Amino acid sequence: MNKQRNRFVASLLIAVAAVLGGTASAATLNDIFAVAEQLNSQARQSQSKIDALTEERRQLLSEYKTVLKEIEGLRVYNRQLEKQISNQEGEISTLSQSIDDVTLIERQITPLMLRMIDGIEQFVRLDLPFLMSERSNRLETLREMMDRADVAVSEKLSQILRAYQIENEYGRTIAAYGDTINIGGTERKVDVLQMGRVALMYQTPDGAETGRYNPGTKQWEPVDDIYKTSVQNGIRMARQQLTYDMLTLPVVGPEAAQ
C-alpha cells in the first residue's frame, strides 16, 4: 500500500514538473514538494483511519465470537438446570406422598404399640416373678416414652421390640440376685436363682433354708435340703464364681391339656 502511494506521488510530481517546466514564475520547486508532502500526510491519515477501523472490526468480531460461546454455554447450563428442576419436582412429589403415608402409618401404629406394651405387662404378670423390679421399671419407661413428643415413632417401636427381645432372652439365661420375698406371710431377704423359665429358687444368705416358687399356688415354699447344694452351686454359677455344670432342681411337670 505504501509503495503504491509513493509511486503515485512520484508520478504526480513528474506531471506537475512537466507542466510547470517552462513557466518558472507559475510555481517553484518548493511549492511542488509542499504539495507532495501534503498529499503524503493526507494519505497517512487515511491509512491510519483504515488501520484503526480494521483493528476495531477485528476486536468486535472476536467479542462477537466470545459472546456466541457464552450463549451456547448458557443454553447447555439451562438445559441441565431444567433436568435438575424436573427431578427435584419429582422428588418433592414423592416426599410429599411419603409424609402423608408416614402420618397415616403413625396413626395406625400408635394403638398397636400401646397394645404391645399391654401384652408385655400381662405376660410379666402371668410369668414367674423374677427380676420384678427391673421388668416393672422397663414397662414404666415404655409407657412414659409413648407420651413423649420428642421421641420418633421408629425409636418407640424399636424400644418396645427390644423389651420383647429381653423377655424372650430370659428363657435362655441363668441369673442370681438378692431380693426380699414373702415366705409364709413373712418378708425374708434371700438370694434368688432364676434358671430360664424352668425353675425359680431361693436360698437364705446363711444357707439354712432353700425353696422355690410354685407356679401352681403362686407362692414361695421351702424344699428338701437335698436341693441345697445344687441351688448354692447354681447361684455361684450365675455369678461366675463356679464353672457351669449339671444341677438337680425341682421342676413342675407339664399339665394335661384341658
Higher per-residue confidence, 188 vs 32: 188
Higher per-residue confidence, 190 vs 252: 190
Q: Where are the domains positioned within the chain?
A: 174-250
Which pLDDT value is given to residue 100? 62
At residue 250, what are phi and psi to the nearest 5 degrees?
-75, 125
For residue range 41-52, what is the model confidence (pLDDT) as tens digits? 777 787 788 878
Residue with cell 510547470: 20
The set of cell numbers assigned to 19 is 507542466
Q: How far is residue 194's CA from residue 202's CA, in Å, rounded to a whole number? A: 9
The set of cell numbers assigned to 69 is 460461546
pLDDT at 99 over 80: no
Which pLDDT value is given to residue 160? 95
Contacts of 175 (CB under 8 A, 6+ apart): 130, 131, 193, 194, 238
Q: How confident is the prediction for the chain on average, in pLDDT?
A: 83
For residue range 201-247, what is the model confidence (pLDDT) as tens digits? 999 999 999 999 999 899 999 999 999 999 999 999 999 999 988 88
- CB count in 10 Å sphere of residue 198: 12
| Sheet (strand 210-214) strand order | 174-183, 186-195, 199-203, 210-214, 219-222
pLDDT band at 68 (very low <50, low <70, confident <90, very high): confident
Q: How far is residue 62's CA from residue 254's CA, in Å, rounded to a whole number? A: 99
